[in-house]
Amino acid sequence: MASRMREARERVTSSGAGNVRFDIELLRLYARSRRAAILPQSLLSLAVAAMTARWLPVTLVGAWLALDLSSLALGGVLAQRFLKRDKAEQNPRPWKTRFTLAAAMDGFAWAAFALLMRGVDSPWATAFAMVVLMLAGAIHTVVEAFIPEAVYAALAPNALAMILYLRPTAFVDPNASLTLLVCSTLIYFAALARRIYSGQVRTLGIQAEKDSLIAELEQAKANSDEARRRAEEASLAKSRFLATMSHELRTPLNAILGFSEVMKGELFGPHSIEAYRDYSNDIHSSGQHLLMLINEILDLSRVEAGRYELKEEPVSLAAVIEDCRHLLTLRAKKRGVLLSEIIEPDMPRIWADERAVRQIAINLLTNAIKFTPQGGQVSVKSGWTMAGGQYFSVRDTGPGIPEEEIPVIMSSFGRGSMAQKNADEGTGLGLPIVKGLVELHGGTFTLRSKLREGTEVIVIFPPERVMAALPQFDPVAGPPSSNRRGAA
């Protein structure tokens, strides 16, 4: 792949700068054109020889025909030998010289035809000779346009032969006008060949650039595939590691929690030393923190890997928020934080995973209570969005989050400066887990914060998750014909 890329970049360089590979492409085009033109040129030479036999002896015509066919054969043999060689063995300089000499030989053959026609004193012969030489010049222009030197080598003898054939004696001589016309036509042919050559160079450059882009795209795709393969392997290894860690850590952790709880509760008698009870409390709280950390890491890994399966069912968002608020009321009182809620009544249920919604609400409320100073307030709101969805928000009057730290706390294990100053326990996984769970429900997660004013987190569930109220059951009319949920 790297070799192909280098070759493509080298071919982009112009032939005029001496790029070997670019010159080889032009020579190969010339060789194919020369080989393909052998048969048409041979037929033209035979036709010209047959018509010239009306004015010249057959022996002279035959000699000229042999010379012309020999030059064509020489060009064809050189072209065939060049095309059979491998590109690595093709040196453009000597081959360009050989092709130019073969084109010059062909040009001299047609110049010899004009010199042979000098002895014929007929206006028809003059017109015939001019048409034949112009036709030969046009053929040289098309066939040998890929090597400008070969075009000049073929057209120069034709121009010299026509000047000698017409032999203008004065400016007012009619042959002078014909000579000027012939020379102008041959000059035009040379300019046309140069235009064809320049166009082919641009075409080769565009093709080489396209090949380079394709090669780079293939290289990028190969790198992407390799990176994806490594990422998948790393993700699989991470999943296996987390599963193993969960099993290996939870087994001794259950024993630690159980025995520490027994020691903390003094089920087998009071401790002889009061400090042991404190140690038991520390062991039990540390074990619970470790268990919470393990569960959060596993939840985050499932969310990031897309393996968190939602167990969807009708859920009352207001009821879940009320339960979570009631659960954390005691913690808020201990910290001196006022916990209030404003919930819009009579909201229909949403189609969601109740465990995930409960985890979202608990994580947000816990963070708000944790970072709100004593005497502060945490307010919870829930209601309708303008689009027909449902939302709930948690707002605190804490110190706020600096704007530059918001991406940090939204990343895994990210903790802001306030959490580090307050030395609050935390893993930095709460908000990433919440954001992942909200996105799994197709909702949006928004965090707004301002220093010394507080923080607000808004969670929005889309209208597609809101269930329409069921029609009232009429015992006379029977059950309703449809009992499907729909968007509000």
325 and 374 within one domain = yes
114 and 176 within one domain = yes
Based on the number of CB atoms within 10 Å of its own CB, is 387 exposed (0-12), middle (13-18) or buried (19 or more)? exposed
181 and 78 within one domain = yes
Q: Phi/psi of residue 353, each to 5°?
A: -90, 115
**Residues making up the chain, counted from first to last:** 488
Provide the pLDDT for residue 446: 92
CA angle 83, 88, 93 (to 5 degrees): 70
Q: What's the domain count of the chain?
A: 3
pTM over 0.75: no
CA angle 4, 32, 105 (to 5 degrees): 130
The domain containing residue 204 runs over which residues? 2-221
Q: What is the DSSP letter of 471?
A: P
Tokens representing 229 are 């393969």
Provide the pLDDT for residue 13: 45
Residue 196 is assigned to a structural domain of this protein:
yes
460: three-class secondary structure by DSSP: strand
Spatial contact of 336 and 375, defined as CB atoms under 8 Å apart:
yes
Tokens representing 145 are 């346009």
174 and 25 within one domain = yes
Query: How far is C-alpha 451 from the geometric centre of its chain's CA atoms?
Result: 41
Provide the pLDDT for residue 487: 38
**Dist. CA 192–CA 197, nearest whole Å:** 9
**Dist. CA 98–CA 317, nearest whole Å:** 88
332 and 299 within one domain = no
**Strand pairing partners for 377?**
338
H/E element, 326: helix 317-327
Residue 486 is assigned to a structural domain of this protein:
no
Q: Splitting the chain (488 residues) into consecutive groups of 10 residues, what average pLDDT does each group show? A: 56 44 81 89 90 87 90 90 78 87 89 82 80 86 87 86 72 68 84 86 83 86 90 77 71 83 82 81 81 72 70 91 89 90 90 90 90 91 92 91 83 62 58 87 91 90 81 52 40
**Dist. CA 372–CA 395, nearest whole Å:** 10
Query: How far is C-alpha 310 from the geometric centre of its chain's CA atoms?
Result: 33
Provide the pLDDT for residue 7: 57
98: three-class secondary structure by DSSP: helix
298 and 322 within one domain = no
Other CB atoms within a 10 A radius of the CB of residue 291 amount to 16
Spatial contact of 41 and 139, defined as CB atoms under 8 Å apart:
yes
323 and 297 within one domain = no
355 and 286 within one domain = no
Sign of CA dihedral 49, 65, 26, 158: negative
Other CB atoms within a 10 A radius of the CB of residue 54 amount to 12
Tokens representing 336 are 């001196």
Other CB atoms within a 10 A radius of the CB of residue 171 amount to 8
**Dist. CA 126–CA 112, nearest whole Å:** 15
Given the structure tokens 């819009």, which residue do they identify?
Answer: 344
Residue 226 is assigned to a structural domain of this protein:
no
Residue 170 is assigned to a structural domain of this protein:
yes
Pairing mode of beta strands 390-396, 377-384 = antiparallel
Tokens representing 89 are 């063995």
324 and 246 within one domain = no
Spatial contact of 89 and 61, defined as CB atoms under 8 Å apart:
no
Sign of CA dihedral 141, 142, 147, 153: negative
Residue 488 is assigned to a structural domain of this protein:
no
Provide the pLDDT for residue 158: 82
Q: 454: phi > 0 → left, psi -120 to 50 → alpha, else beta; which?
A: left
CATH of the domain at 342: 3.30.565.10
